[in-house]
């Protein structure tokens, strides 16, 4: 007998539904940052929770500039992204206690970038044994915590940063 694990929130992603505009260039108002899952924003960098995460705590770190190529990014924004990556790792270690991380860029559509026109770094917490049978059998990822619950845990930590 075949068993089904329902994950209805993935339907938007699988169905190709994309929010209008660039998720890394959100307009001011009317949606609050919590609804957009924005943890941090400054004049150089933005941190947003991935709405379709690989694992709990999957973050996206983007420069303020709407640039798709790493080699064209201004040095101050590149430095701000890397400093934010360091700080985000510290926060995730404290809050989620992962055993490791994957951090990197998907540069260009063919490399898997969901928003190739706006560079962003993917920060994915990892736990020993987190590649479970679900991912092996059918590319299913188990997310252990609701996005807004995790957002509310992480948000205060990011508000203390000045990058």
Q: Could you list the active site residues?
A: 120
Q: In whole angstroms, give the CA distance from residue 134 to residue 140.
A: 5
Q: Which of 54, 38, 65, 30 is nearest to 158 (CA)?
A: 38
Dmax (CA) for the chain in angstroms is 56
CB burial class (10 A; 0-12, 13-18, 19+) of residue 45? buried
């Amino acid at each position: 007998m075949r068993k089904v694990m329902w994950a209805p929130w993935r339907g938007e992603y699988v169905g190709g539904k994309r929010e209008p505009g660039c998720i890394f260039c959100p307009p001011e108002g009317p949606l609050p940052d919590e609804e957009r899952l924005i943890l941090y924003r400054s004049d150089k960098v933005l941190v947003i929770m991935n709405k379709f995460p690989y694992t709990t705590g999957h973050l996206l770190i983007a420069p303020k500039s709407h640039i798709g190529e790493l080699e064209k990014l201004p040095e101050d924004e590149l430095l701000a992204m890397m400093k934010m990556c360091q700080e985000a790792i510290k926060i995730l270690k404290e809050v989620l206690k992962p055993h490791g991380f994957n951090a990197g860029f998907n540069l260009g559509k063919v490399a898997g970038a969901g928003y190739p026109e706006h560079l962003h770094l993917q920060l994915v917490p990892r736990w020993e044994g987190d590649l479970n049978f679900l991912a092996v059998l059918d590319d299913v990822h188990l997310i252990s915590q609701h996005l807004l619950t995790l957002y509310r845990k992480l948000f205060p930590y990011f508000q203390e940063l000045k990058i």
